[in-house]
Structure formats: structure tokens, C-alpha cells
Amino acid sequence: SDQMNVDTDIVTLTRFILEEQQKRAELVNLIGISGSANSTGDVQKKLDVIGDEIFINAMKSSNNVKVLVSEEQEDLIVFEGGGRYAVCTDPIDGSSNIDAGVSVGTIFGIYRLDDSSTGSIRDVLRRGTEMVAAGYTMYGASAHLMLTTGFGVNGFTLDTQLGEFILTQPNLKIPNKKAIYSVNEGNSYYWPDSFKKYIEDLKKPQDELKGKPYSARYIGSMVADIHRTLLYGGIFSYPGDSKSKNGKLRILYECFPMAMLMEQAGGAAVNDKGERILELLPKGIHDKSGIWLGSKDEYM
Ligand code: P6P
């Protein structure tokens, strides 16, 4: 017959990996504690561990990456081969929410090695201003990728049929103002008085909001809280406090990538002293910093 046998059910590499993972997740029951702990003492979830292994293998097989810093690895990893990039990542950020079905994500920041570098910790103990790219993927109702290479921010959504990320938010800009604040009020007893007052003021009726206060929105998964802040505007903050003087978020693979995205989208990102996050110089690969980021006209 003249009928052509056209395979219309194309299995791309991406689709293959996603379907394999889905099958593994259902068959192997990946929900739940793996029992091991990472360098900052967080109890690792099984998906944390698998996400980290997948990420390490992907970076290794790319032949472009020489140095890798991961939240899940105590020390940095230096690959064989001629890669000229250093990647800092939190492979599954927000993992404590996995069992509750809350969106989690992968955060990444990328440095280019200096020509003279052969791959060492010096390639990542650098200011955020030296990052050449940053972003996150968020795994929720759909999979999103938010990316900057220093020329603005572009948002993509995974089309699972095509197995491709499709450009859905070209040249994304964060609104300059929005009456939403995103903090963990459970820490308020430990906050500095200045921050307590700042948040209390947001709870008062605001003239420019016709007497309404700000709305509180906190998911507890940085990727989800940042995604909402980029799209809707507002404030996200995790300040240092009397129990953790540098707060909780790690500079290289949480603060820097999100700060680069915020600035590239027209927002701002500063530490507890009001210094630009991207100008900080980390001394250790898991160093933390207090952070305030969001709509630039909301900056206190
Ligand atoms: P808390 C998740 O563990 C994480 O690293 C970020 O994703 C999130 O913003 C923060 O910690 C939540 O911390 O103390 O509010 O539960």
C-alpha cells in the first residue's frame, strides 16, 4: 500500500528520562527519608540523593564542566577532561516539601574558568557578579525553566509531548511593586528588631492600598517562592537572626543564582546590611547569607 509507516509517537531523550523517572518513582517508592545527611546536616530525601547523582552524571558527561559544587556534596568535585565551566547547584531545593507534593526545583549558577585555571576551589569562591549564567527548573503542575545569561531573563515551560522546553516568558520583568511579602514568620522571635518592625509595618493598613495590608505568601520552597515573586512581584526574605546569624540560604547555589535572576529581571537582591548580594565574596562553598530580594520599589 502507499501508506507510509510514520512513527508519530516520538520518544525524545528528555521524554525517555522523564518516563523512566516516573516509572521508577512509582515502582521504587522514592518518597521518604533516605536516612543519609548532607554537608549542612539536612536529612536527605531519596529524591535528593538521586537528583544529585543524575546532576553529577549529566555535568560529567557534558564534557563542558570542570568543577561542581552541590548542596549534597561536602567537598567540590573536579572532573577529568577539559571542561571550562564551574557549576554550583542545589539539585532538589525544597526537598522537605516533596512528600506534600509542593513544587521543588533545581537551582544552578555557572562561572567560566579563567584561562589559566586547571580546576579548583578558586573557580567558585568568586563574586556573584562573575557568574555567566544562572537559573532554576521548577517541578510542579508543569516543569518550568527560568534562565539568565546576563542579557535579561527568559522563562520556558516543558512540553512533555515534544520533550522540549518552550519559550513562554520572553524577556521577563518583575513588577516594580506588589503588596506580597514572603518570610518564615516562625523565625520572628529571633529576628533583629529592625526586621520585626519592617514586617509589622507591612501588616498595617496601607494608604496606597486603600487601607489594605500586604498579603503573606510563604511556600517554604525557595524555587516556588522566587517563581511567584518574579511573576507577581513582591518581597522574599530570609534574614540572619539570633539563632543563625547568616540565615539559612547558601550563597553559591541559592542566593547568587536567585539574585542574578532578580537583577536581570529589573529587581533587587541585598543582604542584611543592604549590600548587593552579587558583590559578596564567599569564603567557603556552603557559606550562607541573609537575603532580601524582590520588586525594587519595595526595598525598605
Ligand atoms: P524554612 C528548603 O529547605 C530551603 O533551602 C529553601 O528552599 C527554602 O526557601 C528554605 O529552605 C525554607 O526554610 O526555615 O522556612 O523551612
Q: What is the pLDDT along the chain (300 residues), one digit of tens a residue?
A: 566 777 666 655 555 556 655 665 554 455 555 566 667 776 655 888 889 999 999 999 988 999 999 999 999 999 999 999 999 999 999 988 888 889 999 999 999 999 999 999 999 999 999 999 999 999 988 999 999 999 999 999 999 998 899 999 999 999 999 999 999 999 999 999 999 999 999 999 999 999 999 999 999 999 999 999 999 999 999 999 999 999 999 999 999 999 999 999 999 999 999 999 999 999 999 999 999 999 999 986
What pTM, to 2 d.p., does this model score? 0.87
Say if ligand 1 is within 6 A of residue 93 CB.
yes
Nearest CA residue ID for atom 14, ligand 1: 184
Say if ligand 1 is within 6 A of residue 96 CB.
yes
Measured CA to CA, the distance from residue 227 to residue 293 in angstroms comes to: 12
Q: How far is the CA of 35 from the centre of ligand 1 (A)?
A: 19
Q: How far is the CA of 103 from the centre of ligand 1 (A)?
A: 12
Q: How far is the CA of 222 from the centre of ligand 1 (A)?
A: 6
Of 24, 25, 50, 23, which Cα lies nearest the Cα of 36?
50
Say if ligand 1 is within 6 A of residue 184 CB.
yes
**What's the length of the chain?**
300
Helix extents (H) in 233-271? 256-264
- Please report, for residues 90, 102, 179, 228, 286, the alpha-carbon distance to residue 231 in angstroms, rounded to integers and kept in the order given: 22, 18, 13, 5, 28
Say if ligand 1 is within 6 A of residue 218 CB.
no
Nearest CA residue ID for atom 16, ligand 1: 220
CB atoms closer than 10 angstroms to residue 258: 31
Say if ligand 1 is within 6 A of residue 221 CB.
yes
213 three-state secondary structure: coil
Nearest CA residue ID for atom 13, ligand 1: 220
Residue 84 near residue 64, CB atoms below 8 Å: yes
**Does ipTM come in above 0.90?**
yes
Q: How far is the CA of 218 from the centre of ligand 1 (A)?
A: 10
Say if ligand 1 is within 6 A of residue 97 CB.
no
Q: How far is the CA of 136 from the centre of ligand 1 (A)?
A: 15
- CA dihedral (66, 289, 35, 184) positive or negative: negative
Residue 224 near residue 103, CB atoms below 8 Å: yes
∠ CA(131), CA(46), CA(119), 5° rounding?
Answer: 30
100 three-state secondary structure: helix
